Amino acid sequence: MSALTHAHSNPHHEHPDVVGSRNRLGLVLILVADIAFALSVLFVYFYLKGQNVNDMWLPAATDDQVATTPVSSTGAWYLTVLVGVGLLTHTYALKGARVKNQTQLVLGSGIALVASVLAMVYQVMQMSAAPFTITWGAYASCYFLITGLNTVHLALTVFIALGNWNRSRLGLYRADHWHVTIVRVWWTWMFVSSALGAFALSFP
Amino acid sequence: MSDLETQKRPPVWKRKDVQQTGILWVIFTLIIGYVVSEFQVRTIGAPASSVMATTIQMMHVFTWAAAPIAGLVAAMAATTLLSKHHYGDTPPEDADHEIRNSPRIAAAWIVVSALMCLFAVVWGMIVLQQDSESILDSKAMNINVVGQQWAWNFDYIDNGTVRSEDLYLPVDKPVVFHVTSKDVVHSFWIVQMGIKIDANPGYVTETAVTPNKIGIYDLRCAELCGLLHAYMQKKVHVVSQTDYDSWIQNQGGQA
Amino acid sequence: MTTMMERPAAAPGSAAPKKALIERLNLFTALGLGVASAVVVWYLAKTFLPQNTEESVIKTREDQVVLLAMIAWFIGFMIGIGAFIGPFRWVLGRDLSHDENMFYAGKDQGIKRYFRYTTDHKVVGIQYLVVTIIIFFVGGVLAMLIRTNLGYAEGGWLHPQAYNAIVGIHGIVMIVGTIVMITGPFGNFIMPIMIGARDMAFPRLNALSFWLVVAAIPPMLSAFWLGGITTGWSAYNPLASQAPPGMDGYIMFICIFAISTMVAGANITTTAVRMRAKGMTWNRTPIFIYGVVASVALALPAFPVFFLSQIMSALDRSLSSTFYDVRGGGSGWLYENLFWLMGHPEVYVILIPAVAALMEMAPVFTRRPLFSFNLAIMGIAGISGLSVLVWAHHMYVAGWAPLLNGPFMLTTELISIPTGMLFLVLIGTLWRGRLWMTMPTASIYALLWNFMIGGITGIYLSDVPIDAFLHGSMFVTAHFHYTLMGAGLTGALASLVYWFPKMTGRMFDKTLSWVSFCLVQIGFNVTFIGMFLVGLAGQPRRVEAYAEVFSRGNLITTMGAYTIMAGMLVLLHGVISSWRSGAKAPMNPWFAKTLEWTVPNPVPLENFEVLPVVTSDAYGYGKAKS
């Protein structure tokens, strides 16, 4: 067994590409867990819809309360588009980082931040505008599960987009920009996950 | 497996450890097969339906099929344990070979285990098929079973509207149970007949059996259902057709 | 949110207070802040939450209060330990400096670093080891209560409610203990050194995964005072929706623990994939690494499903949603599916690293190469792949989809093929080796014996008609104890003795290891053979009293259980006495060839002065015949 005698005297100075690819793998693995979670949510939705136990997927009207009417999925698709805008502007920012265009980087990540905030606000508005509460049958419960998951995802996105914008603004990505690359992986998953939610809600 | 090894390299036959393993293999296989089947026969007790008889038979066959594998591993382990070994704080000398692989043995092992697996699956499927067909038997009598915390109710729907907390069954007559629950998940288990199905709130599940021996058997709840789960049990009375008819009339139903 | 923002924001003003904040946070600030937040939120919720409406059947408000208080505890604890400093410093664009990172790694802090958010993988490994021992101690005491209660047929001295609570807490405590028992202590301490790395890929996530486990434990233990987890560890709905607020402790525990496994899974997998030493190609990577990675990688897709099932359980309890309530269109089968989608991969999460650890030791103690390294990898990969396709064998008799019983029987029985490969690797390595008899060596034999029994009884249970007889009986309990305890725990105890010298710098007392091994293994087999007996005779699981016919088997089981207890106490004594005053361990007491034995005791902060370059695999024992 031979040994290296130089070059690694300070382990904290690894090449940015090495660190970047390692971090990207870490995020992808965490996303595996998140994807499993989101797919389980879809499973819950379609399983309960398929079972329709006691005809209570969408309960009919009773003496106490009106029938549960499904929410149109248009709102969920609008939300997906909004997240898509975030993804595109973030990609624009990443392109800026690649060509060392600081203005494009800050502008792109700034708009992405705004998109994430708007998306979250829009999602919360949709939840509060629903014509039923979580207790009104299986569809209602699932509706709040899907929108709730989106809200949590978007809150995390706001946090990440805020950091990304702030760090761009401070010029921390001048030397290397693997953070921006990784944040785009997250944005892509946000786009897919909101599309999945909208897809499910299209089949009430 | 050692057969293959030996066919390839004949001198190996004559190795002491291989011969010892071979003898132990036979002995262990017989011991394991015999002891485990006896253990099962003695503890399970006499079956009260053909379903249960088949179940016991399957367990025996699986036992005897698995015994050679377990016997081989045990024989090899015993042989290595019987060989010279070393205690102490420093290691013994290295072994006198550096064998890292044996594709033939590995392949044989995989093929044998795949065949055993196939056998178990196919046979299981056949029995499973018979069991599922018995649910569709149109000549069978039907009983609705309702589990609730912590009691069972039986509706003898073929005999009018008889509801009872006791389970009486005529001998040699196929019966289909339609099982549901009022509150939480219970499991309807008639021990000596070898049938079990969960009682789920909101759903009806089915299981079927033909009791073939007059006697008193055990019905137990097999899914934790709260405080008195341990006491959610009943006796099952399998009686002759005449006794059954008089019992059901006593309960206010028609035979 | 504001408090969280203020803390890191206040810090970076100048160099001195910046360090001060990190230095000030430790386990005690975490406990203080956690308890304080919980009490405040509990009081506020109790005061301001709306009263129950008359028709609410389930005690919704009580659950809301308990859940909110537990969430507050969780957030308070994590702030108090300093888990949020890293992320907020990232947002603020003030990344941790080299000195701060070294502080986080526990440089020059002595004993204090074990009570902090320390990122050094060796500290995390020791922390996990201690916590695992505590978890097993609690679970073991509960097991003894169960067995004592079941000593006589009608002599149960525990109230049924207390008994059910004990069974549930024993179950979940032991499950979590066995999940972390190898990947926690040894996966963290040994694994990075074994692959020639200076630390984990993400040291802060490593600390996070450990402190999440710590944060998760109090909610679960609080179940003792909140009515207990009376549903068994599987917490089936709708039974769980009836259960007392102790159930909220279970839910909270699972949610936090799921995050911990996710973080640990991503971290350990990335480390093994990206951080291996130069020259350590995949066919030179020790088999233990494969075992650990398979285990944590399997947990990655499995635990989120469990996480979701518990979130829905919490919503049902606190907000009266109707995921599992059939009156509102919910389904108990939904819960069962989600639960077992996690539940079955989870048993392999426990088993694989234990078997892999023994495979790692087998060549060392037989002084010959590992037999068929490739077959071992195929076995591990095969089990991992199939394990996500077998969940519904826990639901053969649930009636949810009788037509799927056949396919699930097929996938379940297919698992016996890769499992058989693991047997062949172990027995093949023992064959024609030069046996060095130590406690780990004997553990390999014990594993073969126990796992063979666990495996063959598993073939009975995988068969639908036989399962219709045995499901839900003590037979099943005995079967899974044979796999998780007989195989899993045996591997973990062997790992403890094997790696103890590297982790503590002292040898594990030889006599004590043998005494405890014999007591535990004999006691174990007596216990669970007795349990097979009553299971075949028809005793259901999780019962607090049983019919007279089962007396003999239960008495045997209880006597065996006391023998295990004696063995475990001897082991505990061994751990404590050897750790305090055992013989000083040489650098490589087993004369093994993996990299962790090439670093001195105690292992220096960044493990390797110069990073090693690997030129062969670690199994080059044996002499070539001329």
**Is A48's Cβ below 8 Å from some Cβ in C?**
yes
d(CA C26, CA C14) in angstroms, rounded, equals 21
- Is B48 found in the same domain as B29? yes
User: What's the mean pLDDT in A175-203?
Assistant: 95
Cross-chain residue pair C436–B85, CB shorter than 8 Å: yes
Q: Which CATH architecture best describes the domain C120-598?
A: Up-down Bundle (1.20)
Does B9 map to a domain? yes
A2 has pLDDT over 70: no
Domain annotation covers residue B212 = yes
The predicted structure's pLDDT at residue B158: 87
Determine the Cα–Cα distance for residues C507 and C501; give it in Å rounded to an integer.
5
Q: Is residue B129 part of a domain?
A: yes
Is residue C125 scored above 60 in pLDDT? yes
Indicate the residue among B117, B135, B153 that finishes a domain. Answer: B135
pLDDT digit string, tens, across residues A63-117: 878 888 899 999 999 999 999 999 999 999 999 999 999 999 999 999 999 999 9
Which residues of B have a CB under 8 Å from any CB of A? 202-203
* Paired tokens of C444: 């390999």
pLDDT class for B33, splitting at 50, 70, 90? very high
Cα three-residue angle C333-C335-C339, rounded to 5 degrees:
120
CATH code for the domain in which residue A115 is found: 1.20.120.80
Q: What is the 3-state secondary structure (H, E, C) of A141-179?
A: HHHHHHHHHHHHHHHHHHHHHHHHHHHHHCCCCCCCCHH
Phi, psi angle pair for A83, to nearest 5°: -65, -35
Separation CA C183–CA C443 (nearest Å): 18
Residue B168, number of CB atoms within 10 A of its CB = 19
Report the mean per-residue pLDDT for chain C.
91
| Residue C563 identity (one-letter amino acid) | T
Domain that holds residue B8: 2-82+104-135
Q: Beta strands B141-148 and B175-181: pairing type?
A: parallel
User: A12 lies in a domain?
Assistant: no
Alpha-carbon gap: B243 to the closest alpha carbon of chain C (Å): 27
Peptide bond into C602 cis (omega under 30): yes
Residues B7 and B126 in one domain: yes
- A159 lies in some domain: yes
- In this structure, the answer to whether residues B198 and B121 fall within a common structural domain is no
Neighbour subunits, B (≥3 Cβ pairs < 8 A): A, C
Is some CB atom of chain B closer than 8 A to the CB atom of A50?
no
Residue B188's Cβ-side half-sphere holds a number of Cα atoms within 13 Å equal to 30
Whether residue C557 contacts residue C551, with contact meaning beta carbons closer than 8 Å, is answered with no
Q: Look at residue B96 and tell me if it is in a domain.
A: no
Name the pairing type of β-strands B233-239 and B167-170: parallel
User: Which residues on chain B are in Cβ contact (under 8 Å) with C231?
Assistant: 224
pLDDT (tens digit, 9 = 90+) per residue, A137-169?
A: 999 999 999 999 999 999 999 999 999 999 999
Does residue A44 sit within a domain?
Answer: yes
> What is C509-565 written as a DSSP string?
PHHHHHHHHHHHHHHHHHHHHHHHHHHHHTPBTT-SS--GGGHHHHHHHHHHHHHHH
Provide the CATH number for the domain around residue B168: 2.60.40.420
Are both B31 and B61 inside the same structural domain? yes
3-state helix, strand, coil in chain C (%, to 5): 75, 0, 25
DSSP string, C323-381: SS-GGGT--HHHHHHHHHHHHHHHHHHHHHHHHHHHHHHHHHHHTSPPS-HHHHHHHHH
Section B4-19 average pLDDT: 69
Burial of residue C51, with CB atoms counted within 10 A of its CB: 0-12 exposed, 13-18 middle, 19 or more buried:
exposed
Which residue in A4, A32, A34 is closest to C611 by CB distance? A4
Structure tokens given for C180: 């972390």
Averaged over A131-138, what is the pLDDT? 90
Number of domains in chain B: 2
- Work out the minimum CA distance from A53 to partner chain B, whole angstroms: 7
Residues C333-384: pLDDT tens digits?
A: 999 999 999 988 999 999 999 999 999 999 999 999 999 999 999 999 999 9
Instruction: State yes or no: pLDDT of C30 exceeds 90.
Output: yes
Q: Please, which residues have CB within 8 angstroms of residue C72's CB and are 6 or more apart in sequence?
A: C37, C38, C40, C41, C42
Q: Where are the beta strands (DSSP E) in C397-483?
A: none
Do B125 and B16 lie in one domain? The reply is yes
Q: Is B153 helix (H, G, I), strand (E, B) or coil?
A: strand
The pLDDT, as a whole number, for residue B232 is 93
What pLDDT sits at residue C55? 57
Residue A117: inside a domain, yes or no? yes
Q: What is the mean pLDDT of residues C532-537?
A: 94
ipTM of the complex: 0.93
Do B51 and B171 lie in one domain? The reply is no
The residue range of the domain holding A182 is: 18-50+75-201
Residues B13 and B123 in one domain: yes
B62, B48: one domain: yes
Beta strands in B78-204 (DSSP E): 141-148, 151-156, 162-164, 167-170, 175-181, 186-190, 195-199
Share of residues in chain A with pLDDT > 70 (%):
94
C400 CB neighbours in chain A (<8 A) are: none
Q: Are A4 and C337 a contacting pair at CB < 8 A?
A: no
**Per-residue pLDDT tens digits for C34-52:** 999 999 999 999 988 887 7
How confident is the model over C100-121, as pLDDT tens digits? 888 888 887 888 889 999 999 9
Of C232, C452, C590, the CB nearest to B73: C452
In a domain, A30, yes or no: yes
- C232/B201 CB distance under 8 A: no
Mutate to test the interface with A, among C92, C280, C284, C305 (most CBs of A within 10 A): C305
Number of domains in chain A: 1
Q: Span B193-220, mean pLDDT? A: 94
| For testing contact with chain B, the best of A47, A48, A52, A53 (most B CBs within 10 A) | A53
Calculate mean pLDDT across residues C66-95: 93
Is B191 within 8 Å of B164 (Cβ atoms)?
A: no
- What is the residue-averaged pLDDT of chain B? 90
| Co-location of B187 and B245 in the same domain | yes
Q: Does residue B125 lie in a domain region?
A: yes
Examine residue A67 and state whether it is found in any structural domain, yes or no: no
Q: What is the pLDDT of residue A12?
A: 53
Q: What is the pLDDT of residue C522?
A: 97
Q: pLDDT tens digits, residue range B138-177?
A: 889 999 999 999 899 999 998 888 899 999 999 999 999 9
Query: In which band, very low, low, confident or very high, does the pLDDT at A8 lie, cut at 50, 70 and 90?
Result: very low
Q: Does C575 have pLDDT greater than 70? A: yes
What whole-number percentage of chain C has pLDDT above 90?
Answer: 79
> Do B46 and B126 share a domain, yes or no?
yes
> Residues of CATH 1.20.210.10 domain(s) within chain C?
120-598
- Yes or no, beta carbons of C320 and A134 under 8 Å apart: yes
User: Tell me: the pLDDT tens digits for B86-135?
Assistant: 888 889 988 888 889 899 999 999 999 999 999 999 999 998 888 888 88
DSSP single-letter state for residue C17: H
Tell me, yes or no, whether A10 lies in a domain: no
Picking from B117-131, B232-246, C513-527, which range would have the lowest pLDDT averaged per residue? B117-131
Q: Is the pLDDT of residue C514 over 80?
A: yes
**One domain, residues B129 and B167:** no
Residue B121 and residue B7 share a domain: yes
